[in-house]
Amino acid sequence: MSILQIIEFSAVVTSALYGALIAHRKGMDFVGLFSLGFVVAFGGGTLRDLFLDRHPLFWIANGHYPVIVFFLTLAGSVLPGLLTRIEKHLAFPDALGTGLFTIVGTGYALDSGTSWFVASLIGVLTGTFGGVMADVISNELPSMFRPAPLQATCAFTGSWCYILGMQLPASEIWALPISILVVVLMRLAALKWNLQLPSANREHGGGGL
């Protein structure tokens, strides 16, 4: 198992938990928990694989991934009190899942021979679009497309940290953890202090990019 596969596995678990917490906050039943957990865990990576023409899709090639998501969300449904206790820490699985998936997406794009800029865009897509899909399913305007704390900007910055870091000596040792940390810390800071990009529409403030 490669280091990117290990990170991807961690991203799946973290993102599935984040999706389940969102569903729990909205009062959904087990089907809702599983659906949002599934979408957040696999949505961005599925688009990544389709754009890079990687087959089979990563969660089909790794059949244990959906099983893990199923039992994780089932546990959340059976033990709702557990989700209630950790719901206040929602920002952490959000930030960590974004960071892990962003760097995995960037790494796979580079391995596929894309340009650096395309790799950074694939990284952003992988790290953020599971949450976008979850918002759509929840009948909400995705936070990336309305005034909200920075997310895509955090992923884009971390992606470029990884791309440029991999060009330096001994890059394999530190480029991955540092670039993931950059995304996570930026996202947590954005959530804590409501950091947003300036908006052309001053009436509505900044955006969630």
Predicted pLDDT of residue 90:
93
Residue type, 5: Q
In the predicted model, what is the mean pLDDT of residues 74-80?
95
Buried b (16+ CB within 10 A) or exposed e, 99-134: bbbbbbbbbbbbeeebebebbbbbbbbbbbbbbbbb
Distance CA(7)–CA(29), nearest Å, equals 29
- Whether residue 141 is predicted with pLDDT greater than 70 in this model: the reply is yes
Instruction: Give the orientation angle of helix 171-193 with respect to helix 152-165, to 10 degrees.
Output: 160
On whether the CB atoms of residues 151 and 130 are closer than 8 A, the answer is: no
In the predicted model, what is the mean pLDDT of residues 18-44?
97
- Whether residue 204 is predicted with pLDDT greater than 60 in this model: the reply is no
Q: pTM higher than 0.75 for the full model?
A: yes
Predicted pLDDT of residue 176:
94
- What is the per-residue pLDDT across 165-194, written as a single tens digit (0 to 9) for each? 999 887 778 999 999 999 999 999 999 999
